[in-house]
Structure 1
Amino acid sequence: MKTFGIMTLNFESEALYIDGIAALSQSCGMECFHFLPSSINPLTQQVQGRRYSAIEQRWFDDEFPIPVLIYDRCFYGDDEHSKQCIPIVSWLKSRNDITFLGFGLPNKLELYGTLTTSRLAPYLPHSQSIKDCSEVVSALTKQKKIIIKPINGSQGYGIYYLKKNDKTIHVKTEKNKKIISRIFPNETKLCQWLQPLINFRPYLLQPYLELSNAASKPFDIRILLQKDEQGVWVERGKGIRIGNTGGILSNLSAGGSVIDFSTWSSSLPPAGKEYICSELNFIITNLPYILEREISPLFEIGIDIGVAKNGALWILDVNSKPGRKVVLQTDPDLKETLFLAPLLYGKYLSQSENKERKSNYEKTLYH
């Protein structure tokens, strides 16, 4: 029986999802374990973690060898534990006796650099790194409205909207499902606030795209792609995420809501619906293969697509550790399919002759 390990930074993370996978593991010929990277003993290479008992249908604390198959669901922050775990995961990814379901993606700026040389370049908002507040001031002078976001950010954390008025600069963000606004009287005051932020973590700058609906609520399309039991990319589902009125985020963690894609698209004019579906199909068909060819093997990706008021589609984000809330809210019957997917793909990998999967693993920790 193959050993299947689910790796997180704490045992509370995604508990329902991980329990669901574990409950189905035996049916796929897998013995399921749950562990933290920091719980690996570097001398014995034994792990202190949890083993799932299919007979008793619950977890038991246990010590075990590093599983041969690993599903990485680690989400890193700025805390010391994250910093401790990153080099351990990099070491695990470098080992030939361990198979990761997916190797992840690099940061947003490196990903942008890769995709700008592909056929998907027209769908990418221009992105540039920020080293100094003067670059933000220059962009505001030219564009009037911009977005800045952490290069390694996720779930909409740390995203700011900046707008230059005649004399003042308006900055807006969302925290704890609330919109927070600040008005700076001049560029000097803006830089006094912004420069420490840029110094603390790397940020990138993008033009502000008008991606709100008729009710002035930001919205985007979230698509979940995964590989099936034959290693073939399939679309599990897609839905529309809608944010708060006047907000800048559609993320569910920021208080957003979800509607079914079919419901939303049926409200469009026939020509508009056909155009958007055709463009989405082009992106979905090409993106996973470009990422795997240029970066590293993957198991799943979440794609966020913005639809501008002029009908243009924009790739806003690509995440190799996507959530499943949007898909499950629009189609709850998919729950078991999503629980089984990592196990079935892991089984496929363990039986596959293709072992040449490792590439640039050290760059792919974050997403």
Structure 2
Amino acid sequence: MLALGIMSLHLDSEATYITEMAKHSHSCGVECFRFVPSQINPHTLQVSGLRFDSETENWRKDTFTIPSILYDRCFYGEDEHSKKCLPIVSWLKNRKDIHFLGYGLPNKLDLYESLKTTELSPYLPHSQLIEKADLVMKELDEGNKIILKPVNGSQGFGIYYVKKSNKSFHVKTEKQRKIISRIFPTESKLLQWLQPLIKKYNYLLQPYLELSNEDHQPFDIRILLQKNEHGIWKELGRGIRIGNTGGILSNLSAGGTIETFSNWITSIPKNKADYIRSELDYIISALPRLLEDQFPPLFEIGVDIGIAKNGSIWILDINSKPGRKVLLYTFPELKEQLFKAPLLYAKHLSETDHQERKDFYAKTLSH
């Protein structure tokens, strides 16, 4: 039976999803293990983790050999534990006897630089690395509203909206599902806040896009793409994420809600709806190919698309470790398919040659 290892930074991370997946493992001819990268013994190469017992449908503590195929669900932060696990995962990706379902994507800046010369360039918000606060001040002095976004961020954490009003500056963010707004009366006060932020973390500057609905709620379209049991990319579905009124994020972690794509698309004029459908189909048909032309193979992609008030369409984020809340809510009939997909793709990998998957692995750790 094929052994599949599921890695996360904590054994209780995504517990529901991983356990539901493991419940389908026996019928797919797969045995599931889960572990934290730091629990690998560097001398014996044995892992202290959990093995799924298909008879009792429970996880049991066990020590086992590193499975030959790994599903990486580690979400790295700036904490010490993340920094400890990163080089371990890098080492695993470099081993010829171990293969990953997907090798991940690089940070937001590298991803932007890679796609900005492709046919999807018109859909990418212009992004610049903030090396000095002068760049931010220049944009604000020109009357531009801007977004500051962490290069290595995820789930909407650390994103700021900034605009200048007369001589004062308005900064807005969302934390713990609350909108936090602050006014800096002078440029020097703004710089006292800004400079330590960009010194500690790498940040991108992007133009602020009007991506809210008629109720002044930010919204976007989440599309999930996965490879099927034959290694062919398929769209699983799409849904609408809606944020708080007056907010800047539609992320579910920031308190967003979900609406079906079909309900939303039928509520807008037919000509506009047909145009949006056509554009979305074009983006998702091109994106997997363009990514795998430049990076090692992937298994799944969550794509977030914004529709601006002027009708323009934007790729807001591309995530190689997407969640499934939007699809489970909008397409509950896909539940079994979503839980089986990693197992069936692992079987496909076990039966094919994956040496080509090793190229450029090191660039893809940040996500």
TM class, shorter-length: over 0.9
How is 1:85-124 mapped onto 2 (pairs within 5 angstroms)? Answer: 85-124=85-124
The residue number in structure 2 matching 1:301 is: 301
* Structure 1 CA distance for aligned equivalents of residues 158 and 341 of structure 2: 31
Alignment-mate amino acid for residue 345 of structure 2? Y
Residues 251 and 54 (structure 1 numbering): CA distance in 2 closer, same or farther, change over 3 Å?
Answer: same
Q: Displacement, 1:143?
A: 4.2
The residue number in structure 2 matching 1:16 is: 16
SS in 2 for 1:163: strand
* Structure 2 CA distance for aligned equivalents of residues 343 and 141 of structure 1: 53
TM superposition score normalised by structure 2: 0.99
Aligned residues, how many? 367
Q: Displacement, 1:350?
A: 0.6
Q: Displacement, 1:103?
A: 0.3
The residue number in structure 1 matching 2:281 is: 281
Name structure 2 gaps, 5 residues minimum: none
* Structure 1 CA distance for aligned equivalents of residues 81 and 360 of structure 2: 23
* Structure 2 CA distance for aligned equivalents of residues 195 and 360 of structure 1: 34
Alignment-mate amino acid for residue 32 of structure 1? C
Structure 1 residue ranges, 4+ long, deviating more than 3 angstroms after superposition: none
- Answer yes or no: is 1:238 the counterpart of 2:238: yes
SS in 2 for 1:131: coil
* Structure 2 CA distance for aligned equivalents of residues 247 and 57 of structure 1: 42
Alignment-mate amino acid for residue 214 of structure 1? E
Matched-pair contact (CA < 8 Å) for 2:99–2:354: no
The residue number in structure 2 matching 1:322 is: 322
Q: Displacement, 1:354?
A: 4.2
How is 1:9-48 mapped onto 2 (pairs within 5 angstroms)? Answer: 9-48=9-48
* Structure 1 CA distance for aligned equivalents of residues 356 and 48 of structure 2: 30
TM superposition score normalised by structure 1: 0.99
- Give per-residue Cα distances to partners, 1:170-214, cap 9 Å, x unaligned: 000000100001101111110111111111110000000000001
Alignment-mate amino acid for residue 355 of structure 2? K
* Structure 1 CA distance for aligned equivalents of residues 320 and 353 of structure 2: 24
Q: Displacement, 1:353?
A: 3.0
Matched-pair contact (CA < 8 Å) for 1:9–1:37: yes
SS in 1 for 2:356: coil
Name structure 1 gaps, 5 residues minimum: none
SS in 1 for 2:125: coil
How is 1:1-367 mapped onto 2 (pairs within 5 angstroms)? Answer: 1-367=1-367
* Structure 2 CA distance for aligned equivalents of residues 129 and 144 of structure 1: 17
SS in 2 for 1:356: helix
* Structure 2 CA distance for aligned equivalents of residues 73 and 137 of structure 1: 38
Q: Displacement, 1:335?
A: 1.3
Alignment-mate amino acid for residue 274 of structure 1? D
User: Which stretch of structure 1 is more off in the superposition, 351-360 or 58-67?
Assistant: 351-360
* Structure 2 CA distance for aligned equivalents of residues 315 and 120 of structure 1: 9
Matched-pair contact (CA < 8 Å) for 1:239–1:260: yes
